[in-house]
Chains A and B, each alone.
Chain A
Amino acid sequence: MGTTASQLGKDMLSEYQELTFLTKQEILLAHKRFTELLTRDEKDLANTRVPIERILTLPELKSNPFRKRICHVFSTSEYKDGSLTFEDFLDLLSAFSDSATLEIKSHYAFRIFDFDDDGTLDCGDLEKLVNCLTGETDDTRLTPEEMRQLINNILEESDIDKDGTVNLSEFQHVISRSPDFVSSFKIVL
């Protein structure tokens, strides 16, 4: 795959343009930001993996409650440690870019929300999701009673086939009716 980390070849660039939703400027900016995360001796290596701790120092991800999930979903690492290569990073930015389609955005959103990676959103996933949304501290967390009511409501609304979980197509059905999603599922460097 032959990218040296310090420079981006012209044909590489055009290939990335073809394979992602990013424009040339965005790719170059992403490359610049990514190289800033590398240590000095890593800069000369190709396809360096940046560990999740360093990725999360990016201000765009730093305070996002889903930051760890995002890294895990886009990571191609064999050890599932959430580390990202430059290409993973581009995949991430592409899915979160302005021009990405609703379908791909909703696909990745589903995987981010699927905390136990089992392919459906069950009660446990939903509870974790709501806790991420409202914050983990005690004063922002919903009471157990509220949480139960909320999860019941969510399942009642979106679990069309009534199997107790929300699957990808049901999820996409909900998303497709929410126009704000495309504009809010967005991370721009």
Chain B
Amino acid sequence: MARSPQRQSSREEYDYTEEYGSHSDQQSLRLRRVPSRVSNQNPPQFDWSSPHEEEDEEGSSGPPRDLRATPLPMALKRAMRQIQQMRVPVVSSRESWKRKKAKSLRKLKESGRGFLSFFSLWSKTLQKIGGNFGGGVQSYFLFLRFLVVLNFVSFLLIAGFVLIPSIVFRSVGSKLINSTGPEACMEYDPNPQGLVVFYNYFLDLLSGTGFMEYSYLFYGYYNNTMVEDVNFSYNIPLAYLLTAVFYFIFCLICIIVRMGTAARVVVATGVSTVGNYSMIAFTSWDYGCLGDRATKLKQKNIHYGLQVDLEEESMKKRAATLTLLQKIVLYSLRVSMCVLSLGLIIAAFFGIFKATEFSQKNSLQGGILGLFFEYLPSIVITAGNFVVPLLCDQIALIERYAPSNTVIVALLRSVFLRLVSLGVLLFTLWGQITCDGAENTGDCKLCQYNHLIYQCWETRVGQEMYKLTLFDFLINIAVLILVEFPRRMVVDNWSNKLTQWVGRQEFVVSANVLGLVYGQTVVWTGALFCPLLPLINTLKFILLFYFKKITLFYNCRPALKTFRSTTSTFFFLVVLLFGWGLGTVVIIYSVAEIRPSMGCGPFSVFPSMWSIVPMSFQKLSITSQEFLFFIGSQSFSIPLFALSCVVMCYFVALASVYGKSVALLRAQLKLEGRDKQFLVKQIEMLSQSQHILN
């Protein structure tokens, strides 16, 4: 409601500028209403009389309006500012102080923002990408930048609390407790061979074994050091665990905050699909488009989109008239295709399952063959993720969903495939580490994990995730060099029917985003076992940014079908949250349930990783223990719960009130229109009767 006077005045100003500007013969209602103002046509000076009296009144009561937000030419804005400044002595000193404060605050904010924008990564590049390829592709790169920053900050967290302390205290600290356990479980010898052939270095680098294995890269190298002085103590195992926990919480908060901004927008717009055509007509042009090529493509995009939408509309009308038999045929076709794609996905899972099992059994072989076996799961996963979505796309063509639904269905299928295939890999690993969950039988009887294959299983899981990360990166580069560049060269230099039909590749935003989500999920899963994985991932994503940029500018044509960048941003984050969930489940399970390996790592003496927390809790002073107990008790949590309920209720009520006021305003707008029409009729009637009288 508070906005309405401003709205009104802006409309008045519009009237003014309209008269001030050019003016057609068409008699609009407003001109009839205020005929006197028609006379003062296009004066270059400002007409102080009518429209701005209102403005002045407003100005004397409230704070002055932000002149930057007035749609007037500069000269008039300057004049208005002078008037505002002349008025300043009238207000009280307190008021003017307030204004001055606000002004200087704004200046400070601006300079701060300028300073920050200096640091923001790749802003020029992002702008260029947005200009040439549109908002959808830009949102991919924004997402990539977000992940780079997230990973880097996570690395700083880990470096600050785990890495640097362990480097510093490695020589100084004392071992917490000397490990006791069966002799066989304590065996851990990561560097068995003395002399290494040079090419083995390369193999080790790729698979994280050999010289890589026993280093700060992996869990096994950290030990249960504890430094205790009179007023200083540092417990590496505790720090290790808590850092991992905070890392996950930190990532969650980052995602949620980013989602919040995206969600607000989606909620505001996505409620009704009405307004689609006017939205396309009024807002689809991207004024940042640079160059003729981009403009042409954008125009083509819009044309295509409009045609599709109009066609879809008539299709819907036709669908409503479909006979029962035709409907049955269509739906049965959809169901069978759905089953088929599900079957494909399950087949892919089975393949991954078998490959992992096979590779774990044969991983002890050396040389190239060994490397192949090591990478077999990654190869199968990548192949599956490459082939199955392609087939699913073909299936989607048969299903004949509406275009917007097709995109979502395709996305969901590939998300499912990607994340669950990773899950299958982890499940296989879990089965082998814990002898399929039966921890007191067979090979697991002695140490509660399979110490014959895995002397240090955490490092092994870390290596697996390291390999997945590295392999994903290598595949990206390989695809760039071996597929994308040759394709563009062939398409550009040969012009026959076939190459024209194939054409340059499109930059498919959804598939690329899923690649990022997958990479990030792998990092989350492996972060506990390979603390430097976030750093590796930062570097990987930075390089990926440049590679993707190169392939975008040299090899791609903008996609013909684009989807709205705002909704997609939200969807990307939801998918990322799935990945986060998968990583968290893995971490919680391995922290709480599986016995840490006895031969290596910071937790070698504990029955589970979590047990360090109760142990250090016992060491706290009585008051802090009591305080923590109080926070955990019902007397604290029930009031907290009640309070959060109240706050939530308040916000829900607020939201509904806003919704109602929007509906009210809409109704008011309608009424105003009707009033206007009524008045026009009245005026016409009056003028006619006057005409008759005269």
Contact = CB atoms under 8 A, between A and B. Distances in A.
B285 interface: yes
A118 B28 contact: yes
Given A163-B676, A169-B669, A174-B282, A119 B310 contact: no
A96 interface: yes
Contacts of A13: none
Interface stretch (A36-44, A49-57, A179-187): A179-187
B287 A64 contact: yes
Interface in B1-52: 7, 10-11, 14-15, 17-18, 21-24, 26, 28, 30, 42, 44
B93 interface: no
A154 B290 CA distance: 28
Interface in A53-86: 59-60, 62-66, 73-74, 76, 78, 80
A150 B306 CA distance: 8
A96 B69 CA distance: 12
Interface in A159-189: 160-163, 166, 168-171, 173-175, 177-181, 183-188
A187 B288 contact: yes
Interface string A94-116: 11100011011001110101001
Nearest to B282: A174
21 contacts: A62-B292, A63-B291, A76-B44, A76-B75, A100-B68, A103-B10, A108-B71, A116-B24, A117-B18, A130-B306, A133-B281, A133-B302, A135-B303, A140-B303, A153-B278, A154-B277, A157-B277, A158-B282, A163-B677, A177-B268, A181-B283
B58 to A, nearest CB: 16
A174 B275 contact: yes
B691 interface: no
A18 B74 CA distance: 11
Interface centre among B14, B283, B306 (most CB of A within 10 A): B283
A63 B294 contact: yes
Given A103-B69, A135-B296, A174-B275, A119 B287 contact: no
Contact of A78 (B42, B303, B310): B42
Contacts of A183: 135, 565
Interface in A1-60: 1, 15, 17-21, 23-25, 59-60
B75 A87 contact: yes
Contacts of B114: 23-25
The 6 closest A-B pairs by CB, nearest first: A161-B673, A87-B74, A135-B299, A134-B303, A179-B265, A158-B278
Given A76-B75, A140-B303, A163-B676, A184 B18 contact: no
A185 B30 CA distance: 29
A116 B25 CA distance: 10
B6 to A, nearest CB: 8
B81 interface: yes
B73 interface: yes
Contacts of B135: 180, 183-184
Contacts of A20: 68, 74
A6 B281 CA distance: 40
B406 interface: no
A21 B265 contact: no
Nearest to B13: A107
Interface string B549-582: 0000000000000001110000000000000000
B21 to A, nearest CB: 6
Nearest to B110: A23
Nearest to A117: B22
Nearest to A73: B21
B289 interface: yes
Interface of A: 1, 15, 17-21, 23-25, 59-60, 62-66, 73-74, 76, 78, 80, 87-88, 90-91, 94-96, 100-101, 103-104, 107-109, 111, 113, 116-120, 126, 129-130, 132-135, 140, 142, 146, 149-150, 153-154, 157-158, 160-163, 166, 168-171, 173-175, 177-181, 183-188
A105 to B, nearest CB: 10
B67 to A, nearest CB: 6
A20 B269 CA distance: 29
A146 B303 CA distance: 11
B104 interface: no
Nearest to A97: B68
A94 to B, nearest CB: 7
B670 interface: yes
Interface centre among B114, B287, B565 (most CB of A within 10 A): B287
Contacts of B268: 177, 179
B428 interface: no
A178 B269 contact: yes
B77 interface: yes
A181 to B, nearest CB: 4
B666 interface: yes
Given A118-B26, A133-B285, 12 more contacts: A1-B78, A19-B67, A19-B81, A94-B68, A100-B68, A117-B23, A119-B18, A133-B280, A133-B303, A134-B306, A140-B300, A161-B674
Nearest to B20: A76
Contacts of B676: 161, 163
Given A63-B289, A188-B127, A120 B110 contact: no
A146 B74 contact: no
Contacts of B292: 62-63
A18 B68 contact: yes
B307 A142 contact: yes
A171 B7 CA distance: 13
Contacts of B300: 135, 140
Interface in B561-614: 564-566
